[in-house]
Amino acid sequence: MRCPGTLILAAGSVGVVHAAASSNCTIEAIQGALLSNATVTNATVVLQGGSFGQGTADVAYPTNPSNLSSLCAVIVNATSSPESSFSFGLFLPDDWNSRFLAVGNGGFAGGINWLAMGDGPPYGFASMSTDTGHTGDFLDMSFALNSTERKADWGYRALHESIVMAKAIVGSYYGSAPAYSYYTGCSTGGRQAMKEVQMYPDEFDGVMAGCPSWWTTHQQTWQLEIGLINLPENTSHYIPPSLFPWISEQVIAQCDLFDGIEDGIIMDPKKCDLYYEAMLCKPNSTTTCLNPDQLQTLIDLHRPLAYGNNTWVYPNFGVGSEAQMPSSFGDVGTDAPSLYGTQYVQYMVVNDPTWDFNDFDYSIIQQADEENPGNASATQFDLSAFHARGGKLLQYHGYADGLIPTDASIYLHRQIVSTMFGQGVEDIDSWYRFFLVPGMQHCQGSVGDAPWFFGGSGQAASLIPATAAGTLDGFKDKEHDALLALMAWVEEGIAPEMLVATKFANDTIANGVMRQRPLCPFPKFAQYVGSGNVSEAESWACADRPGI
Ligand SMILES: *[C@@H]1O[C@H](CO)[C@@H](O)[C@H](O)[C@H]1NC(C)=O
Ligand SMILES: *[C@@H]1O[C@H](CO)[C@@H](O)[C@H](O)[C@H]1NC(C)=O
Ligand SMILES: *[C@@H]1O[C@H](CO)[C@@H](O)[C@H](O)[C@H]1NC(C)=O
Ligand SMILES: *[C@@H]1O[C@H](CO)[C@@H](O)[C@H](O)[C@H]1NC(C)=O
Ligand SMILES: *[C@@H]1O[C@H](CO)[C@@H](O)[C@H](O)[C@H]1NC(C)=O
Ligand SMILES: *[C@@H]1O[C@H](CO)[C@@H](O)[C@H](O)[C@H]1NC(C)=O
Ligand SMILES: *[C@@H]1O[C@H](CO)[C@@H](O)[C@H](O)[C@H]1NC(C)=O
Ligand SMILES: *[C@@H]1O[C@H](CO)[C@@H](O)[C@H](O)[C@H]1NC(C)=O
Ligand SMILES: *[C@@H]1O[C@H](CO)[C@@H](O)[C@H](O)[C@H]1NC(C)=O
Ligand SMILES: *[C@@H]1O[C@H](CO)[C@@H](O)[C@H](O)[C@H]1NC(C)=O
Ligand SMILES: *[C@@H]1O[C@H](CO)[C@@H](O)[C@H](O)[C@H]1NC(C)=O
Ligand SMILES: *[C@@H]1O[C@H](CO)[C@@H](O)[C@H](O)[C@H]1NC(C)=O
């Protein structure tokens, strides 16, 4: 059900600040907040309903957010070393909620994420995004070649430095420092969230880490390995992308009922013991099927990666993620794995663009781990400092993610919980919660018409119309909007007991709500209460796992 609740941020003790943007929105005025190693290159007054961004000059994020509230848009370019620099964008809304929001990036993209920044002003946030120190698309890692400095900017530094400077500008522009600071990001943005929490625990009061690609050295090499499992294209074991929608249907057909409700949604893929053989071609079959070699490929794509002596390396695709698996393979016809894997090794690890993916072996992963290029991997599981300063961390991951294995997120959660227990911190739930999203693919979208919209990073912009950035009317409450949930947690001490995810028919807002269902803090799970419409959130409750 839609709750028409009011925007909770208006109710807090922190008031709205009205700035007269036009008088102070100048390069000179903004520059006054910065040191000489940073230069304001743009300060533009954007009127109510206007748009701002760099258009196609921003290769990675060419879509400018539209229908912005009246604000001051700023671009800053800063020097991070003699051989590197980065830029960031900042929206300073006239009606400011006294809060700061930083948003993350995606893949290896270099560019200010204007569209994601556009999510901030509808809430009243001053919002910021960095270009991470280079310009280029999601799959282009050439910037990193032989450059420790540019790797560091991408790995964590440009974001951190941008945050420091953006906060200084906010303080000077409005005459007061932000009362609260938040971060939201998905994928690489989720990794950036974890780096912030680990390296700069004081920077944010609340952090949202969506589908984090947190273990860079293993995630990127995994993308190479899964490509190699399926390739070459001319072999009997190769599964072409065209077969995966069918495989996805077969998996859903087999696994849907394990939760007791026939609705196309696999609530818990761990409960499904796939009978792969059902997908085998029968003699002289004329319908879609897998040959025995392809069947083994599919099994291998679900099996965690290990080396010779059973050294566990990384999880693999979850059951239910088949529809999105091809996104993690290289382009058809290239006979090569994803550039996410190959370029990572070429430009980040061995610094040799001629490196051949056929030479991949375990030593490459070891080399990646030793160097940890750009210190990008977020493997510091001791979050004591973030916990001690009262920070709140909300992590989420789709069960049908075909780009970052869901189990990688589950593993991250386990490592943090174990490490914190080791530090004597047992009240994990009071500051760190993890929501698994049945049926959700990478960051947004779903299989089986599973509900997936809950105000996660980039989600509003993925709906139709895509211009509906930020909060949606009718969803501006802490149950339906994870950012508002995070704010309620930080500012009012109300921890999110559940979030409600929504599926709009064909992901089109105008078509109306098709389904809603609760998401529960792990290890709780959503369970049908036994009566009522299964498409409505009220018919479900968060249940404890038996025995705990
Ligand atoms: C412009 O900024 C200055 C310095 O922060 C401040 O004193 C002044 O009130 C601002 N002017 C307006 C119109 O907001
Ligand atoms: C600032 O950015 C806007 C939008 O991209 C552009 O039209 C304008 O020329 C820029 N101003 C400067 C000083 O670069
Ligand atoms: C633009 O934003 C305003 C709120 O600031 C909203 O009322 C209006 O519906 C939006 N227009 C479109 C076309 O999305
Ligand atoms: C930022 O400044 C550096 C050094 O002055 C320059 O090399 C770089 O091109 C600038 N970047 C942008 C995006 O303006
Ligand atoms: C700019 O200089 C200040 C003061 O030395 C330093 O703290 C900051 O890290 C520098 N920023 C960048 C981007 O190098
Ligand atoms: C990168 O460094 C390697 C080893 O130092 C060197 O052989 C190579 O020429 C360098 N490549 C570029 C493009 O600078
Ligand atoms: C199949 O492709 C591989 C890699 O491209 C190539 O080495 C091999 O010769 C091909 N085999 C056949 C039978 O075409
Ligand atoms: C499959 O087709 C072949 C060739 O048409 C035929 O010889 C064979 O009997 C068929 N097998 C079955 C099980 O129908
Ligand atoms: C297992 O194999 C890996 C990769 O070959 C190697 O690095 C590791 O040292 C081995 N571990 C043991 C216990 O032999
Ligand atoms: C690398 O990042 C980790 C956190 O992910 C941090 O603990 C460590 O100090 C960083 N190392 C360096 C050399 O910056
Ligand atoms: C959703 O899209 C499908 C396929 O394009 C179409 O058949 C169906 O009518 C659409 N549903 C709605 C509610 O628009
Ligand atoms: C169940 O709920 C959905 C979503 O609110 C609604 O579209 C559907 O009509 C309801 N079904 C029944 C039988 O009431």
- By CB atoms closer than 10 A (0-12, 13-18, 19+), residue 314 is buried
* Range(s) of the domain holding residue 114: 14-178
Ligand 11 pocket check: which of 503, 506, 513 to mutate, most ligand atoms within 8 Å of Cβ? 506
Specify whether 328 is located in the same domain as 273.
yes
d(CA 330, ligand 7 centre) in Å: 16
- Secondary structure letter of residue 538 according to DSSP: G
d(CA 293, ligand 9 centre) in Å: 29
d(CA 309, ligand 9 centre) in Å: 6
Quick one: pLDDT band at residue 309, thresholds 50, 70, 90? confident
Taking only the tens place, the pLDDT of each residue in 413-440 is: 999 999 999 999 999 999 999 999 999 9
SS3 79: strand
- CA gap 403, 416 in Å, rounded: 22
Contacts of 452 (CB under 8 A, 6+ apart): 398, 437, 439, 440, 441, 444, 445, 446, 459, 501, 502, 503
In three-state form (DSSP H/G/I as H, E/B as E, the rest C), the secondary structure along 84-152 is EEEEEEEEEECEECCEEEEECCCCCCECCCHHHHCCCHHHCCEEEEECCCCCECCCCCHHHCCCHHHHH
Handedness of CA 211, 212, 213, 214 (dihedral sign): negative
Q: Looking at the domain assignment, is residue 359 inside a domain? A: no
Q: Looking at the domain assignment, is residue 198 inside a domain? A: yes
Give the residue-averaged pLDDT of 385-397.
Answer: 98
More confident residue, 283 or 469: 283
Q: Looking at the domain assignment, is residue 347 inside a domain? A: no
In three-state form (DSSP H/G/I as H, E/B as E, the rest C), the secondary structure along 486-500 is HHHHHHHCCCCCCEE
Taking only the tens place, the pLDDT of each residue in 195-249 is: 999 999 999 999 999 999 999 999 999 999 999 999 999 999 999 999 999 999 9
Which atom, in ligand 8's list, is nearest to the CA of 283?
Answer: 13
Interior angle at CA 343, CA 338 and CA 344, nearest 5: 100
pLDDT of the residue at 95: 94
For helices 362-371 and 216-230, give the axis angle rounded to 10 degrees: 160
What dihedral do alpha carbons 481, 482, 488, 491 form, nearest 10°? Answer: -130
Indicate if ligand 2 lies below 6 Å from the C-beta of 87.
Answer: no
- CA gap 355, 372 in Å, rounded: 18
* Percent of residues, the chain, with pLDDT higher than 70: 95
Specify whether 239 is located in the same domain as 306.
yes
**Averaged pLDDT of the chain:** 94
Alpha-carbon separation of residue 22 from 19, 25, 88, 94, 155 (angstroms): 9, 5, 21, 9, 36
Ligand lying nearest the CA atom of residue 533: 12
d(CA 449, ligand 11 centre) in Å: 12
pLDDT of the residue at 470: 60
Ligand lying nearest the CA atom of residue 306: 9
Taking only the tens place, the pLDDT of each residue in 247-275 is: 999 999 999 999 999 999 999 999 999 99
Quick one: pLDDT band at residue 471, thresholds 50, 70, 90? low
Handedness of CA 382, 386, 390, 393 (dihedral sign): negative
- CA gap 156, 132 in Å, rounded: 8
- CA gap 24, 487 in Å, rounded: 29
* Count of residues making up the chain: 548
Specify whether 103 is located in the same domain as 224.
no
Specify whether 131 is located in the same domain as 267.
no
pLDDT of the residue at 465: 86
- CA gap 24, 153 in Å, rounded: 30
Which atom, in ligand 11's list, is nearest to the CA of 505?
Answer: 13
Return the residue matching tokens 């490509």. Answer: 227
Indicate if ligand 9 lies below 6 Å from the C-beta of 308.
Answer: yes
Indicate if ligand 3 lies below 6 Å from the C-beta of 67.
Answer: yes
| CB atoms inside a 10 Å sphere around CB 146 | 10
Indicate if ligand 12 lies below 6 Å from the C-beta of 500.
Answer: no
Is the distance from CB of 181 to CB of 486 less than 8 angstroms? no
Alpha-carbon separation of residue 101 from 206, 220, 260, 300 (angstroms): 10, 28, 41, 41
Q: Looking at the domain assignment, is residue 106 inside a domain? A: yes
Alpha-carbon separation of residue 343 from 140, 337, 375, 508 (angstroms): 7, 10, 17, 36
d(CA 124, ligand 10 centre) in Å: 33
Nearest CA to ligand 11 atom 4: 506
pLDDT of the residue at 466: 75
Specify whether 240 is located in the same domain as 258.
yes
**Distance, CA of 329 to chain centre:** 19
Query: Where does a domain end: 153, 178, 203?
Result: 178
Ligand lying nearest the CA atom of residue 365: 9
The type of residue at 424 is G
Closest residue by Cα to residue 155 from 222, 225, 220: 220
Contacts of 530 (CB under 8 A, 6+ apart): none
Give the residue-averaged pLDDT of 447-464.
Answer: 95
Q: Looking at the domain assignment, is residue 365 inside a domain? A: no
d(CA 285, ligand 8 centre) in Å: 10
More confident residue, 17 or 514: 514
Closest residue by Cα to residue 383 from 337, 419, 341, 422: 419
d(CA 41, ligand 2 centre) in Å: 8
- By CB atoms closer than 10 A (0-12, 13-18, 19+), residue 188 is buried
Specify whether 59 is located in the same domain as 135.
yes
Ligand 9 pocket check: which of 225, 305, 307 to mutate, most ligand atoms within 8 Å of Cβ? 307
Per-residue pLDDT at 72 exceeds 70:
yes
Which residues, in sequence order, are bridge partners of residue 133? Answer: none
Q: How many folded domains does the chain comprise?
A: 3
Q: Looking at the domain assignment, is residue 370 inside a domain? A: no
Give the residue-averaged pLDDT of 47-51.
Answer: 94
Q: Looking at the domain assignment, is residue 52 inside a domain? A: yes
Is the distance from CB of 185 to CB of 192 less than 8 angstroms? yes
Give the residue-averaged pLDDT of 152-175.
Answer: 97
Specify whether 158 is located in the same domain as 203.
no
Quick one: pLDDT band at residue 307, thresholds 50, 70, 90? confident
Q: Looking at the domain assignment, is residue 500 inside a domain? A: yes
Which atom, in ligand 7's list, is nearest to the CA of 234?
Answer: 1
Nearest CA to ligand 8 atom 5: 284
Specify whether 545 is located in the same domain as 406.
yes
Ligand 3 pocket check: which of 51, 67, 68, 509 to mutate, most ligand atoms within 8 Å of Cβ? 67
Nearest CA to ligand 7 atom 13: 234
d(CA 217, ligand 6 centre) in Å: 21
Specify whether 405 is located in the same domain as 539.
yes
**Distance, CA of 217 to chain centre:** 17
d(CA 511, ligand 3 centre) in Å: 18
Quick one: pLDDT band at residue 467, thresholds 50, 70, 90? low
Specify whether 295 is located in the same domain as 397.
no
Which atom, in ligand 5's list, is nearest to the CA of 161?
Answer: 13
pLDDT of the residue at 474: 80
Nearest CA to ligand 1 atom 9: 175
Backbone angles phi, psi at 311, to 5 degrees: -65, 115
Specify whether 195 is located in the same domain as 91.
no
Return the residue matching tokens 């303080």. Answer: 171
CA atoms within 13 A on the CB side of 541: 7
d(CA 247, ligand 2 centre) in Å: 49
Specify whether 129 is located in the same domain as 207.
no
d(CA 42, ligand 2 centre) in Å: 6
